[in-house]
Structure 1
Amino acid sequence: MKIAMVGTGYVGLVTGTCFADSGNQVTCVDINAAKVAALQEGKIPIFEPGLEELVVRNSEAGRLLFTTDLAAAVKDAELVYLGVGTPQGDDGAADLSALWAVVDGLAPHLQPDAAVVIKSTVPVGTNAQAYARLKELTGRECHVASNPEFLKEGAAIDDFMKPDRVVVGVRDEKVGEKLRRLYAPFLRTEKPFLVMSPESAELTKYVANAMLATKISFINTMANLTEKLGGDINDVRRGIGHDSRIGFSFLFPGVGYGGSCFPKDVRALEAMFARAGIDPVMLQAVDKINEEQKSTLLEKINDYYSDDLAGKTFAIWGLAFKPRTDDIREAPALVLIEKLLAAGAKVRVHDPEATENVAAIYGDKLIYCDLPLETLEGADALAINTEWAEFRQPDMNEVKRLLSAPVIFDGRNLYDCATMKDLGFTYYSIGRQTVRP
């Protein structure tokens, strides 16, 4: 099929590239000329494992093109995918200004039988509004479908190639069948292709992210209680996780969630509740718990140092909101950095991928280190924010030697408490008892 993918952000670039890799002719459009020029040269603006190889391979095969010319991309396309950003607005709701600008721009060039497919995360009713807007602009009935994405940063290629399910919202069953053919190569293991109304499809994305965010805030709340009552959240987690109704997924205590999806989608769903006249009390609690959890490590640090952080030096491992990405949007590490700097502390940081993005914000306020152990030199303590694989089994004797004092504040529970005690560390973690030598 001939596909136009409007938007080369995280979702648009991954989706367009994966469609091209299954044999489709895909033209990706973006208004950022410098970004398009870089993509034409095979330079990827984000870190996502496996993506660069796919972009280069499909570009060289002629199946994947990049342009700033919306009209040229749309005029021959059977499917026009919209993957533009929908950031959080001032009122918490999704800002759809970029989406409407694209709809207005593509309308004169849309072929009569083509379908516009909304991939962006949008509030319920956006599909219907786009349908009405295109009808007014073109003077004819236009096909508008919804096809929400369920990609995890750091595993997006696998998620797209081997989806748990594909959700599409359509008014016309012929459009549904066209999308079924498009996704057929990715559903050979009998994963479901779920067809529903556009409104249900739009809501499915928000409900999925809100559910996962709720699980994270729930386990963090229980971790904080368990720690206060003298228990171990890992034991509790095992005790509940083996219940088949509950499971273990997303029940890892830590310093809260971040990224481009969970925070803004929870808040956008809150706004939808408010517009529907329903009190979003549960979602407000999920969001509030998460924001407070981002300060958990600082509270432990202040407890250890009796609120006197001026002149102290802290090493921070992990800046991205999760491993296998360079995304620092709403990352818990940034909250800790801000508060340490405000308290007069010095901060040395390392992340395998996100350092450049953090440096663009903080400049020379931080010391950037190429290696994890380098951050420890002269540091009073280590704080861990992101569970990158390379942080899981460091040489603890070397860690202890390099730190001015053997103190670790672990926001991801990477290490065994008994082992840390035997090694002589003061070790703070989440939902477990503090270890002291």
Structure 2
Amino acid sequence: MEKDIILKAENISKQYRLGQVGTGTLSHDLNRWWYQIRGKENPYLKIGDINDRSTKGTSDYVWALQDINFEVERGEVLGIIGKNGAGKSTLLKILSKVTAPTTGSIKSRGRIASLLEVGTGFNGEMTGRENIFLNGAILGMTKKEITSKLDEIIEFSGCERYVDTPVKRYSSGMTVRLAFAVAAFLEPEVLVIDEVLAVGDAEFQKKAIGKMQDISRGEGRTVLFVSHNMAAVKSLCTRGIVLEHGKVVFEGGIEDCINQYFNDLMQLTQRKWNPEASPQTDFLRLLEAKVLNENDELTLNHLISNSIILEFTYEIIKEERLFTHGFNLYNSQNIHILSSHDKDSQTLKSSLKKGIYKKRIVLPGNLLAEGNYSCSFAIMTYNPFFVEFHEIDIVGFNIIDEVGQHTARGNYSGNFPGVVRPILKWK
């Protein structure tokens, strides 16, 4: 069966010049022009660093994207995931034709509607109703087509009361609601959505994801979706690509993409901080975090039936403060699995002297399902309750499932859903 390709990216690259000048200088533009009229390649395409914000570069040029190739079929929902700075938003801007690629080309069939930032394409002085017609016109729709969808757009956005009020008086959440409703209901062939849904409340996010599912599965239209909410990506997308430093490092099924993303993201079994750079408050600073097995060995991969030890080392730098410890655990979809407060700690009853201290938590075996996990650590005071600091994603670990009678799986080797995997007693 022949593929129905609606969007194709071929060798897409985007280069930026660093510094205040931005895109280049007159001398560079003349140099490019001189090479071009002689039929030679742009000399600045041969230089430039990869897009890694954490390192000091050696070139004034940086590749935000480099050699991106992929195809999207009609009715497909493509998830684009990666760390901050990986090039996701730049790619969406190129696909939406907000900016042009340095090299390569985009081939598309039909209208592309984009929702890249809060209030994209909205005029703050115009009312919500006027902006609906403005956005529709930008998409190439007639006034009659827009009018036929107007009531649905206003109802879905939940902004009926304010639809004749200038958009500049809307909250960011209201603006996103209206912008999404316009993009979704004006029937583009391709809907491009960046992380803007994070601004909306839980109710609207649920409605928006439901609408995107209707668009792709019910109406056969295509969605490109960028989000750090892996639960939303997993529930919505059928396929994904993982970007890192402006390059595609993985492409495939969405579950495989999410696993690849989290495997590359961190999974540090040990983290140490210098005293000056450590997470700290005025009386305490965190020095080290570890993930250990039952033999006190640093371990990344743990069998599902084995206990896991999390050890936090901190320094008291000021005495006479009462406090306690907190811990949070997240899975690979960034779902908050559990929280634990050290509510009976001696540190709530008497202050510690200056020095180095350790605190341990034991996660019992047969508690969590297989997968990737990350941990956070917090220091809190009570009466009144106050979080002194909360450091997320400090260490992580993987749980590997087993087949056997000592696990909840038993001898079954197929897919086993759920975020926890305790062995329950059946009577």
Shorter-chain TM-score tier: under 0.3
After TM superposition, the score normalised by the length of structure 1 is 0.23
* Higher RCO structure, 1 or 2 (CA under 8 Å, sep 6+): 2
- Name whichever structure is richer in strand by fraction: 2
TM-score normalized with structure 2 length = 0.24
| Greater helix proportion | 1
Q: Which has the larger radius of gyration?
A: 2
